[in-house]
Chains A and B, each alone.
Chain A
Amino acid sequence: MDYSTLSISHTKTDKEPGAKLPGTLRLISRFFFILTVCLFTITSCEDEETNTGSNEFDRSTMLANYAHNIIIPNYATLNNAVDSLNKAINNFTSSPDTVKLQQLREAWYNVAMNWQHCSTFEFGPASDVLLRASMNTFPTNVDQINDNISWGSYNLETAGNIDAIGLPALDYLINGVGEDDESIVSMYMNNDQSENRKQYLADLAAQMQSKVSAVYNDWVTDGGNYQKMFIASDGMDIGSSVGLLVNELNFDFEIIKNAKIGIPLGEKTLGSPLPQHVEAFYHKQSVDFAVEHIKAIDNIFNGRSRAGIDSTGLDDNLNALDAKHSSGIPLAEAINNQFDDCISAVESIPDPLSEAVENNSTVVDAAHTELKKQVVLLKTDLPSTLSVLITYQDNDGD
């Protein structure tokens, strides 16, 4: 039973035609509306049992698939990529040149792409070390970074440094400190702060390594074995694993909609674009990362590993409950169709996104619209079907 769909269909039936149709037609439309609502009410009473007694669908099987085939392998890959990044940074700082700079960039890119596949899992071990905020808070704060470098003394764990660390800070340091490769390299050789800058680069990578390896080790059986608890917590309450996963999947998807696309487009500034707010502003391949991120969440929804092996996931849970979209097709199919639409809409944005939000805003806006549609499905239809509560709040004030 999909309650949100019910309320949406009510609104449309009641308010749109009802307001326009005169006399008899309006009465008839109201009659059908009443009938529909009453039918829904009755079915909702009947459906209660199937909904609560989801014995036929084994959530622990699904959770085991998430832990063993998606979350742990994704962290393992990320962990390796961060290792390589550290090596590339050591290699670069020991004797900087443009070839090593390019190798360092490739290592950074590899971490950034792998990060898209881990960003969703901000619960348990990751949330203990604030992994998401530490890895990818953007836009990065160039003034803060440069202050830290010139002081040569800093605590990278403070709240005040959260926008001076992680991938965005590294992006600035390897892509944004000079006009071209030679001038960037010279900032690590012939500059009065070269040593401090090299140290900062190394400290950022070391911090990343310590956090990622801690999270990875917390998940695996010969470490913290968080997976055991994750798989066992197969209920539906707020702290259950499905609850955590659905909440964070939504939170993460909204990062794409808001931080990656909406805010640069001017969503929060009455349409005035904020080009510097894109992900990977200096690297300039923001669209690639956004597409990879959507694909990652698409995989997660479908219980599909990065190698493409499709096993039990949230989509199967929806299908087991026979969840339907208001259009009549299965809800899981509607969500998958919308993932496809999101991917193709975002893919059609030309990089750099920072220029597209100003010169090609129609295309960016179209992508934003597709992402918004998916938020409705993921944040309303999906959780209500699974009896999961979205517990994070949009920032509000009064």
Chain B
Amino acid sequence: MKIMKNLRHFKPQSLLILALALALSACEDNDSDTDPNTYTIPDTYTFSDDEGNNTVSYQGQIDRLNQLSEMNDLMDEATTGTIDAQDLKDMYANTGDDGNGNFSFTSSKQLKNKTFGAGVDASTQEMFENFMDSLAANSESFDQTAAEGVAGIASSGSGNYLVSANGIEYKQLIEKGLMGAVFYYQAVSYYLSDAKIGEGVDNESPSDPEAGKYYTAMEHHWDEAFGYFGVPVDFPATLTDRFWGKYTNSRDEAGLMSYDKSVNNAMMDAFIAGRAAVSNDDTDAKNENIRIIRETWELISAAQAIDYFEGAQANFGSDNAKFLHELSEAWAFTNTLKYSPEETRKITNEKVDHILNDVIGDNFWEVTSQDLSDAIDEIKTVYGL
């Protein structure tokens, strides 16, 4: 196995092995690998190789989800005391592998270097770091009541939201924003892209069996996309209370459909069937399920944005706290649409920027009910909702 392990680093050799393996398998049992009817699609997201070794792995994604959860915990503290922006930035960049002591666990993974544009264009990373500065600055006003032009706490019943002088709840822009610029972007636009899941990606040799990595590169990339979706392997039988699993279920309960299925099943079935297709070299089924995942996920974010805009509208003039909170949520779910892949995206960046900058603007206290209707109408028109 040592030879296999070494060879996987070297493309020409891999190609030789691949070619010979293909030639041999083609002569022996050409039909078994490519006929979609001869492989089983499991009920849950569990896959193993011919020897029964588990081939599913996405610890890096689990780590990042947990990192964002712990960032949320810290951001929640800003409603009852001041917080330091540097702590959030250290968590975002995972300084010292434990967010400079702010995480309860260590990991080599980080959110910052997976944010849209990382390594090429730092503007999105800077946007989030600016949000963190704003949140920390607002936390200085944790003992004040928010009003137009005054940062502080906006309360509704038991809900307390820290908002800026312009009524923006930065916690939502950061949490939901990173759900978009990291989780969604990495899954649909990176791991499900041709570069990571297309024909040029190794789907023959196990990555490193000695280290327990029985998956091929292509299988692993698919798993990593699934990891960012962040649901239990038997979703929706088992649900989750955070991130995309939570909001997918929320839209599912509201009756959102995609490809003739409720969105929980549309997403989960496509992730499972697509993974089975990858493991069985069924390129057509793989590509079809990529399309379903991409289109459904974008639809979920759009529908969630609409739902929050509608919530903001329902609370307009009667419950300022909820109005500002839901508008902040809506902002982030709308912004997420920018990270959709070019191949399937329904909305242009210009449209998203228009909604966020022209229709909504940067002072949420000045948003009118008509503005909310306009935002809702524009998104509904694009998505046929």
A interface residues with partner B (beta carbon < 8 Å): 3-4, 6-7, 10-11, 14-15, 18-19, 30, 33-34, 37-38, 40-41, 44, 263, 268-272, 274, 277, 380, 383-384, 387-391, 393, 395, 397-398
- For residue B20, CB closer than 8 A to chain A, the reply is yes
C-alpha spacing A6/B340, complex, angstroms: 35
Complex contact A269–B116 (CB within 8 A): yes
Encode contact with A along B277-292: 1 for CB under 8 Å, 0 otherwise. 0000001100000000
CB distance from A64 to the nearest CB of B (A): 26
Complex contact B22–A268 (CB within 8 A): no
Instruction: Determine the residue in chain A with the shortest Cβ distance to B199.
Output: A11
C-alpha spacing A391/B16, complex, angstroms: 16
Complex contact A4–B30 (CB within 8 A): no
Encode contact with A along B323-338: 1 for CB under 8 Å, 0 otherwise. 0000000000000001
Known A-B contacts A14-B34, A30-B30, A397-B114; A7 and B19 likewise in contact (beta carbons under 8 Å): yes
Chain B residues with Cβ under 8 A from A380's Cβ?
A: 11, 15
C-alpha spacing A259/B15, complex, angstroms: 27
Complex contact B19–A398 (CB within 8 A): no
Chain A residues with Cβ under 8 A from B13's Cβ?
A: 389
What are 13 A-to-B residue pairs whose CB atoms are below 8 Å?
A38-B27, A41-B20, A268-B119, A269-B116, A269-B117, A270-B339, A270-B340, A274-B120, A389-B10, A389-B12, A389-B13, A391-B9, A398-B60
Chain A residues with Cβ under 8 A from B220's Cβ?
A: 398
Complex contact A19–B117 (CB within 8 A): no
CB < 8 Å: which of B9, B12, B22, B31 contacts A37?
A: B22
C-alpha spacing A318/B203, complex, angstroms: 29
Complex contact A398–B23 (CB within 8 A): no
Task: Please report whether the interface of chain B is mostly helix, strand, loop or mixed according to DSSP.
Answer: helix
B interface residues with partner A (beta carbon < 8 Å): 9-13, 15-16, 18-20, 22-24, 26-27, 30-31, 34, 60, 113-114, 116-117, 119-121, 189, 199, 220, 224, 283-284, 338-342, 345, 349
Complex contact A271–B342 (CB within 8 A): yes
Complex contact A398–B34 (CB within 8 A): no
CB < 8 Å: which of A3, A14, A263, A389 contacts B19?
A: A3
Complex contact A33–B26 (CB within 8 A): yes
Known: A10-B22, A270-B345; 18 extra A-B contacts, CB below 8 A, are A7-B19, A7-B22, A14-B34, A15-B283, A33-B26, A34-B27, A37-B26, A40-B19, A44-B19, A44-B20, A269-B120, A270-B339, A277-B121, A390-B11, A391-B9, A395-B119, A397-B113, A398-B224
Complex contact B34–A38 (CB within 8 A): no
Known A-B contacts A268-B120, A398-B224; A389 and B23 likewise in contact (beta carbons under 8 Å): no
Chain B residues with Cβ under 8 A from A270's Cβ?
A: 116, 189, 338-342, 345
Chain B residues with Cβ under 8 A from A391's Cβ?
A: 9-10
Known A-B contacts A14-B34, A38-B27, A270-B189; A388 and B339 likewise in contact (beta carbons under 8 Å): no
Complex contact B339–A7 (CB within 8 A): no
**Residue in B9, B31, B121, B338 with the greatest tally of chain A CB atoms within 10 Å:** B121
C-alpha spacing A263/B117, complex, angstroms: 10
Chain B residues with Cβ under 8 A from A38's Cβ?
A: 23, 26-27
C-alpha spacing A40/B22, complex, angstroms: 11
Instruction: Determine the residue in chain B with the shortest Cβ distance to A272.
Output: B349
C-alpha spacing A308/B116, complex, angstroms: 45
CB distance from A164 to the nearest CB of B (A): 15
Chain A residues with Cβ under 8 A from B34's Cβ?
A: 14-15, 18
Chain B residues with Cβ under 8 A from A37's Cβ?
A: 19, 22-23, 26-27
Which 7 pairs show the lowest CB-CB distances between chains A and B? A384-B12, A41-B23, A37-B23, A268-B120, A389-B10, A398-B60, A3-B15
CB distance from B213 to the nearest CB of A (A): 11
Complex contact A4–B120 (CB within 8 A): no
C-alpha spacing A37/B30, complex, angstroms: 11
CB distance from B204 to the nearest CB of A (A): 10
Complex contact B117–A4 (CB within 8 A): no
C-alpha spacing A390/B13, complex, angstroms: 10
C-alpha spacing A388/B11, complex, angstroms: 10
C-alpha spacing A271/B342, complex, angstroms: 7
CB distance from A170 to the nearest CB of B (A): 23
**Residue in B113, B114, B199, B341 with the greatest tally of chain A CB atoms within 10 Å:** B199
Chain A residues with Cβ under 8 A from B10's Cβ?
A: 389-391
Chain A residues with Cβ under 8 A from B283's Cβ?
A: 15, 19
C-alpha spacing A391/B12, complex, angstroms: 10
Chain B residues with Cβ under 8 A from A263's Cβ?
A: 120
Chain A residues with Cβ under 8 A from B341's Cβ?
A: 270
Chain B residues with Cβ under 8 A from A272's Cβ?
A: 349
CB distance from A326 to the nearest CB of B (A): 13
CB distance from A125 to the nearest CB of B (A): 26
Known A-B contacts A14-B34, A277-B120, A398-B224; A7 and B15 likewise in contact (beta carbons under 8 Å): yes
Chain A residues with Cβ under 8 A from B120's Cβ?
A: 263, 268-269, 274, 277
Instruction: Determine the residue in chain A with the shortest Cβ distance to B10.
Output: A389
C-alpha spacing A380/B31, complex, angstroms: 28
Known A-B contacts A34-B27, A37-B23; A19 and B15 likewise in contact (beta carbons under 8 Å): no
Chain A residues with Cβ under 8 A from B60's Cβ?
A: 397-398
Chain A residues with Cβ under 8 A from B18's Cβ?
A: 7
